[in-house]
Homo-oligomer: A and B are copies of this chain.
């Protein structure tokens, strides 16, 4: 129980809430076990709850009118999702689905809204969380607009390395179709881009990425995409399509 509150307490929206207040707040929340592929909520559904991931991975995604899927967010331990809709008393702007076995904490929006209306600290804390998720989205928009597919993968691998330098082996946390969708690429473009990263010291073995030098990879991620594109013609039509 305590562990559950600790994990939830690290979520941006709860980070500034004093632990006893948070425990009281979350007492009426419920725990949901999710199988891989389980639907947490549908796009357009009325939002009665928000969620914190306790274990595993969850994606949020939008269906385009023609049935394609754009992965908008990927969430893991201590990440919250669904709060924009739940607290705004709106419908969910994207659907949410477990991409691995997992456990989420489901928090009743009404309970939280009620708590918010009487608790300044909680309100400001939730606001700080909203600003943080906003900043993450801005970073993602920038990456989508200014980086080639290969560079986005490099960024993605580096983000998995943490602060490490030198060599590093990371476990790819979810399947490649999902990574492609998250990075705004077609799965086949992702495979090509992975192969190209060999030249920058990256070897992919099943769900492991072995990186010879994080610095070298970071240098590639920061290169001028115009140069890398004209030199290597390596991103033709990447980013044109989300995954199917």
Distance of A237 Cα from B141 Cα, bound (Å): 17
Interface size on A, as a range, is 35 or more
Q: Are A139 and B93 in contact (CB under 8 A)?
A: yes
Distance of A239 Cα from B141 Cα, bound (Å): 12
Q: Are A141 and B141 in contact (CB under 8 A)?
A: yes
Q: How many copies does the complex hold?
A: 2
Question: In angstroms, how far is the closest chain B Cβ from the Cβ of A29?
Answer: 20
- Give the contacts of A34-73 with B (CB-CB under 8 A): 62, 64-73
Q: Decide yes or no whether A195 CB sits under 8 A from chain B.
A: no
Question: In angstroms, how far is the closest chain B Cβ from the Cβ of A150?
Answer: 10
A230-244: CB near B (< 8 Å → 1, else 0) gives 000001111111101
Could you name 19 residue pairs across A and B whose Cβ atoms are closer than 8 Å?
A68-B146, A72-B141, A73-B138, A84-B134, A87-B131, A117-B120, A118-B120, A123-B127, A130-B131, A137-B138, A141-B144, A144-B145, A144-B239, A145-B242, A229-B241, A235-B240, A238-B239, A238-B240, A239-B239
Residues of A whose CB lies within 8 Å of any CB of B are: 62, 64-73, 83-85, 87-88, 90, 93-94, 116-118, 120, 123-124, 126-128, 130-135, 137-142, 144-149, 181, 184, 222-226, 229, 235-242, 244
